[in-house]
């Protein structure tokens, strides 16, 4: 049995690397950085869950910006917010960390192409980006695998995680003079993997960046990240996009071309309003889930306080929901657990008998 102290990729060397980005910085800088900056340590990110909204900050965010977003912060709060959920220590060895860096560097050449390149599409909106999609395939496999490795709710099954780990460990180059493009690859696991790329050039420079994994889908896995919507299928199946609703935009999931290890690299290019519509749908789903969670909590509070019946009155709930939505507090403190407790307590204290 391998030690927990060993690298999660190669499983043979000590996991000595600190500051590993579990989602590559070349993507995250468009998602959680302060508006107008693509530099390191300029994170100003928010993590939205069913329970609450949390935030994190980079060490180079200026005090004036912190004041604007959060108001007054204690030194302890600043330290807590300096812990970035995407950056971890002692998960990989230095050699494997370098292997990820190499594939990211090769993929960045695609990201750095001028947007005009992606205007050359056919009648279906399909753009041929490169003759080979090997780099993108390994890059996105590494993104999904690392994201799942770092997520409390894994997006990949245990078997899928191990399949991808084997593929990455076997084929990721260890030296900068070697490219995935030049490696002849014959691999039983890899031959079954397929993916689709939907791309909206320039979206994240105009709108707030966004990262979301849609847990409603497993065949394929679907990730919205920056300017991309990526579908990944370890067994080559995309059945669920025909069966489940994708916020009213299933057409783009189906239209995107299937890619495999031997394919040309082709993207479905979409307009910004389309990606905006998808993200609005995700936000609406998250909002509904959040308020349903609060709704359940209010019923539990009602019972614990000795209220009549098992449910808090709809009138009282609506008052709490309205105050949560309309409360004029700094963005960085809105919908946090502390904000929810404060609002609920303020509304309910009218019913406390002295």
Which token pair is 96?
């494997």
pLDDT at residue 302, rounded to an integer: 93
- Residues 197 and 268: beta-carbon distance below 8 Å: yes
pTM of the model as a whole: 0.91
Predicted confidence pLDDT, tens digits, the chain (354 residues): 355 799 999 999 999 999 999 999 999 999 999 988 889 999 999 998 888 899 999 999 999 999 999 999 999 999 899 989 899 999 999 999 999 999 999 999 888 888 788 888 999 999 999 888 999 999 999 999 999 999 888 789 999 999 999 999 999 988 777 778 777 777 888 888 999 999 999 999 899 889 999 988 988 999 999 999 999 999 888 989 988 999 999 999 999 999 999 899 999 999 999 999 999 999 999 999 999 999 999 999 999 988 899 999 999 999 999 999 999 999 999 999 999 999 999 999 887 655
pLDDT at residue 1, rounded to an integer: 37
pLDDT at residue 354, rounded to an integer: 53
Cis check for the bond before 220: say yes or no (omega within 30 of 0): yes
pLDDT at residue 309, rounded to an integer: 93
The Cα 349–Cα 244 span in angstroms is 44
Q: Where are the alpha helices (DSSP H) in the chain?
A: 25-28, 63-70, 75-81, 94-111, 134-149, 158-171, 188-192, 203-206, 250-255, 272-304, 314-326, 337-348
Cβ-based neighbour number of residue 301 at 10 Å: 14
pLDDT at residue 352, rounded to an integer: 63
């Amino acid at each position: 049995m391998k030690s927990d102290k060993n690298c999660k990729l190669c499983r043979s060397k000590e996991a000595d690397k600190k500051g590993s980005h579990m989602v590559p910085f070349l993507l995250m800088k468009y998602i959680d950085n302060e508006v107008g900056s693509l530099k390191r340590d300029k994170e100003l990110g928010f993590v939205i869950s069913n329970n609450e909204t949390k935030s994190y900050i980079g060490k180079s965010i200026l005090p004036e910006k912190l004041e604007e977003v959060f108001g007054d912060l204690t030194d302890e709060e600043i330290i807590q917010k300096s812990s970035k959920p995407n950056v971890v220590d002692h998960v990989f060895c230095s050699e494997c960390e370098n292997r990820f860096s190499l594939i990211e560097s090769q993929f960045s050449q695609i990201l750095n192409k001028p947007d005009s390149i992606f205007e050359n599409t056919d009648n279906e909106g399909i753009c041929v980006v490169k003759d080979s999609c090997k780099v993108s395939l390994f890059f996105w496999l590494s993104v999904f695998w690392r994201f799942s490795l770092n997520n409390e709710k894994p997006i990949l099954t245990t078997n899928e995680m191990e399949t991808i780990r084997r593929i990455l460990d076997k084929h990721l180059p260890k030296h900068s003079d070697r490219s995935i493009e030049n490696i002849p690859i014959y691999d039983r696991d890899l031959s079954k993997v397929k993916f689709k790329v939907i791309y909206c050039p320039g979206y994240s420079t105009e709108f707030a960046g966004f990262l979301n994994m849609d847990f409603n889908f497993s065949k394929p896995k679907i990730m919205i990240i920056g300017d991309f919507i990526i579908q990944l299928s370890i067994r080559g199946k995309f059945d669920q996009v025909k069966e489940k609703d994708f916020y009213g935009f299933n057409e783009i999931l189906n239209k995107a071309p299937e890619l495999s290890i031997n394919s040309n690299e082709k993207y479905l290019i979409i307009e910004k309003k389309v990606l905006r519509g998808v993200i609005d749908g995700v936000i609406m789903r998250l909002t509904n889930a959040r308020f349903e969670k609060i709704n359940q909590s209010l019923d539990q509070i009602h019972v614990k306080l000795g209220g009549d019946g098992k449910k808090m009155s709809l009138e009282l709930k609506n008052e709490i929901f309205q105050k949560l939505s309309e409360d004029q507090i700094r963005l960085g403190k809105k919908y946090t657990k502390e904000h929810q407790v404060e609002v609920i307590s303020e509304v309910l204290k009218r019913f406390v008998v002295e």
